[in-house]
Amino acid sequence: MHKNSLIEKNQCYHCGEDCSDYSISTDDKVFCCEGCRTVYQILDENNLCNYYNLDNRAGNTVKANLERKRFDYLLDLEVQHKLVDFKKGNTVSVTFFIPNIHCTSCVWLLENLQNIDQGVLRGTVNFLKRTVTVVFDDSKTSLRALVELLTTIGYEPSLKLEQLNEKKAHSIERNLWLKLGVAGFCFGNIMLFSFPEYLNIDQSDSSVMFKYFFGTLNIILALPVLFFSGIDYIKSAWAALNQKGINLDVPISIGMLALFGRSLYEILSGTGAGYFDSFTGFIFFLLIGKVVQKKTFDRLSFDRDYKSYLPISVLKITKGGELSIPVNRIEIGDHILIRNQELIPADSINTTDHLQVDYSFITGESEPVTLIEGEQVFAGGKVIGQPGELIVSKKVEHSYLTQLWANESFKLSQNKRPLTSFADRISPYFTFSVIGIALISLIVWLQIEATQAFTIFTAVLIVACPCALALSTPFTLGSTVNILSVNGFYLKNLTVVEELSKTNTFVFDKTGTITESNESKIEFIGEKLSKKESQILASVCHSSTHPLSKTIFKNLNTKELLTSDSFQEIHGKGIIATIEGVQVCLGKLDFLREKLTGIEFDISEVLHSGSKVHIAINGSYRGFFSIQQRFRKGLKNLLLQFDGLDFPQYLLSGDNEKEKSALLSLYKGWEEMRFNQSPTQKLEFIHSLRNKDTHIVMIGDGLNDAGALKASDFGIAVSDDKSSFSPACDAIIDSDSLGSLDQFLSFSRISFNIIIVSFFISLLYNVTGLGFALTGNLSPLVAAILMPLSSVTIMAFTTLATRLTAKKMGLKLWV
């Protein structure tokens, strides 16, 4: 199993990316950059090269963060205290979230960190949550050294501001497992002890003694089920009744208490064997439903606010030099340094000339803006290219980025329509009919045979217990959510499925949602460039950090680069450079006119929307690159599908109108298109669409959509990379799956019909049970058969029905 045979020669041994040349190599292995080689050297030195054998796609490229980040702030005791899980003597345990964890090799390497740093005692990876918990010896290594090590080997932990403000809540899940375990244990044993009763072997003399013995055991075993496993249902029912409402837990609790009370009475009075087997089985099945319901996507986060975006630290420039400090300690007037690809944490004044800032995440503008000295910079922008020195003008909490969360209408939208499940809505009717039937039978039987009346009354309450009813929703929706996640659509929880199935109005964001954020459609219009000319052009573009230059460089696809003799980049305008005696000028048309006087321009650029980069080589105009943002695959079809269903569709964009024609050619039927929208305007637009018949879906991707996502009935965040941060929403969709949204929608509708059908099935069981109960024939054996049977039928029916539907619709069932 050698990797060499699998990987082509010019691919980086560490990350598998194409190498532009063979210059960086060690032990006849080629690397794409110094970063990758360093990782290899560290691993090789510490005998950890097994890393490359476990998985072919093991290495993470370290190209992006060649510049070494500084982690001085991790020396700060307060920061340390908030990050570590616990500290005992010199032993410290800390959990990092590492988005880069993606394969077996990652798990292996991160659990063998002690081979590299001897201060590490052990590492434990949770693959689903993408976390690693490292226990280390504080006297031999430090938190800072650990983070630096992880960053060097390509596993940079994601350290965000929110981690400084809150501590993780401990898992409620463990408790649920324990409750299920206890219920299952008692259920099994009580069934065993009830066996003589089922077989009716109580003819002998000693049977009376055994009856009491088994009865007592059953009572003892049933107690923890009522007071530990099932107590949540009673609490929830009590809370609902206190608020003068009835949820599904009310009939469940009535059934539970009736079962328990009746059984207790029968055993203590010696009149019967009781229904403790049914009672414990009932709670056991209910808890299984709850476990299914609790299953969520740990690694995805649906409730993020601005704190998740901001970095944990920032470089502060002091008289003594640069110092990295936690972001929440930035004061007004501080000088801070923000480097390439770093986020600006607070509103500031720019002191660097021609600072390029990319606001796409907060405003939706696709192109970076160039700022001159003294201009205002807003929090949330990303610095591109040369580092910027800023003077902080507002604290983090009062910055532009955070305003949205303070906005009144944003707060209003917090309490949007209350989410009640279908099951909860029908439970008042259910409860009242059960109590009604029970009372009528009580009165009727009092006339016929008063001794039987009380028995019948409790029997009705017992069989009417909506166990199957309570299971149908979690099992159907659990299965639905599971299938959707396999297909790239991750729902926040089960309750939102119902809202999804009702939606009928769609609002799309443009940048990053309709258009792909990294890919663009590029074409060269003009006189064809020779191979040499392309090479020269590529070399010039390579030296620039402007996104358009990068796009052109990628498009030219040249491996070997030339060094330029002279290079001058005027920010926001263009580049003029000389390579091997050839002068190249590229950029805006005005820039070319200004630099090269007396040349002719014959162009028909009006025909092309999108951004343009004009090229002149050796003083003669050659044409221009037209760069358009590319629309996502399958989107056109999706828009037409919704159109066919008569759903109104809106478009909101933070960008200007330059791509309006392209958007119209994609789909003509836009109900309305709005450009230059601020995050707050987007939020207000959603509010204005509101009326009782609309169920609005907002589909967005960035922070600029955060308000609108929250205000809508169903917010969907589009994400290229699931583990990266997406704003607060009800669901996250893989960008590749966006085209199938119409299918997901109809699937959610069908699963709602499945719930309704399964409700009828479970009602059928209840009616059958009522037949036994009303005639006074509900023996413990009948109850013990009927109850688990109905539960199992519902579980099997809902699971099979959803999977068959999904298969019919062509959705994937397995990963």
Partner 1 sequence: MGVIVLLIAFSLLVALTFLGAFFWAVKSGQFDDPQTPSMRMLFDDEPVSKNNKTLTNKTD
Please list the alpha-helical segments (H only) found in 696-779.
Answer: 706-711, 741-774
Nearer to partner 1, 119 or 326 (CB): 119
Write down the least CB distance from residue 202 to partner 1, Å: 13
Residue with tokens 């005639």: 775
Nearer to partner 1, 210 or 422 (CB): 210
Element (H, E) at 650: strand 649-652
Encoded tokens for 803: 């999977």
Do the Cβ atoms of 763 and 256 come closer than 8 Å?
no
Write down the least CB distance from residue 484 to partner 1, Å: 19
Write down the least CB distance from residue 1 to partner 1, Å: 9
Nearer to partner 1, 5 or 447 (CB): 5
Write down the least CB distance from residue 217 to partner 1, Å: 7
Nearer to partner 1, 216 or 376 (CB): 216
Write down the least CB distance from residue 188 to partner 1, Å: 8
Write down the least CB distance from residue 170 to partner 1, Å: 11
How far, in Å, CA of 440 to CA of 363, rounded? 65
Write down the least CB distance from residue 178 to partner 1, Å: 6
Radius of gyration of the chain (CA): 33
Residue type, 231: I
Binding site for partner 1 (CB under 8 A): 44-50, 53-54, 104, 107-108, 111-112, 115, 118, 125-129, 171, 173-174, 177-178, 181-182, 185, 188-189, 192-193, 206, 210, 213, 217
Residue with tokens 């000389």: 578
Write down the least CB distance from residue 100 to partner 1, Å: 15
How far, in Å, CA of 399 to CA of 376, rounded? 12
Nearer to partner 1, 196 or 526 (CB): 196
Instruction: Give the distance from CA 601 to its chain's centroid.
Output: 50
For residue 255, the number of C-alpha atoms closer than 13 Å in the C-beta half-sphere is 30
How far, in Å, CA of 218 to CA of 523, rounded? 79
Nearer to partner 1, 208 or 764 (CB): 208
Do the Cβ atoms of 730 and 496 come closer than 8 Å?
yes
Do the Cβ atoms of 437 and 464 come closer than 8 Å?
yes
Do the Cβ atoms of 155 and 100 come closer than 8 Å?
yes
Write down the least CB distance from residue 295 to partner 1, Å: 10
Report the SS3 class of residue 473.
helix
How far, in Å, CA of 428 to CA of 469, rounded? 13
CA angle 785, 788, 792 (to 5 degrees): 130
Write down the least CB distance from residue 4 to partner 1, Å: 12
Nearer to partner 1, 38 or 360 (CB): 38
Nearer to partner 1, 41 or 530 (CB): 41
Nearer to partner 1, 38 or 762 (CB): 38
Strands 313-318 and 91-97: unpaired
How far, in Å, CA of 32 to CA of 66, rounded? 12
Write down the least CB distance from residue 89 to partner 1, Å: 22
Measured on CA atoms in the order 329, 330, 334, 335, is the torsion positive or negative? positive
Nearer to partner 1, 157 or 623 (CB): 157
DSSP secondary structure string for all residues of 350-371: E-STTEEEE-HHHH---S-EEE
Write down the least CB distance from residue 268 to partner 1, Å: 20
Write down the least CB distance from residue 144 to partner 1, Å: 18
CA angle 295, 424, 418 (to 5 degrees): 80
Which stretches does DSSP call E strand in 359-447? Answer: 369-371, 376-377, 382-384, 388-392
Write down the least CB distance from residue 551 to partner 1, Å: 38
Encoded tokens for 712: 């809508």
User: 575-579, long-range: CB within 8 Å, 24+ apart, which pairs?
Assistant: 575/540, 575/541, 575/543, 575/544, 575/549, 577/540, 577/543, 579/536, 579/539, 579/540
Q: What are phi and psi of 621, to 5 degrees?
A: -75, 135
Write down the least CB distance from residue 719 to partner 1, Å: 21
Strands 348-350 and 376-377: antiparallel
Do the Cβ atoms of 93 and 85 come closer than 8 Å?
yes
Nearer to partner 1, 189 or 545 (CB): 189
Nearer to partner 1, 104 or 637 (CB): 104
Do the Cβ atoms of 422 and 378 come closer than 8 Å?
no
Nearer to partner 1, 206 or 557 (CB): 206
Encoded tokens for 794: 């519902």
Write down the least CB distance from residue 49 to partner 1, Å: 6
Do the Cβ atoms of 110 and 126 come closer than 8 Å?
no
Nearer to partner 1, 478 or 700 (CB): 478
Instruction: Give the distance from CA 151 to its chain's centroid.
Output: 24
Report the SS3 class of residue 126.
strand
Nearer to partner 1, 196 or 428 (CB): 196
Nearer to partner 1, 184 or 381 (CB): 184
Please list the alpha-helical segments (H only) found in 194-230.
Answer: 195-199, 207-224
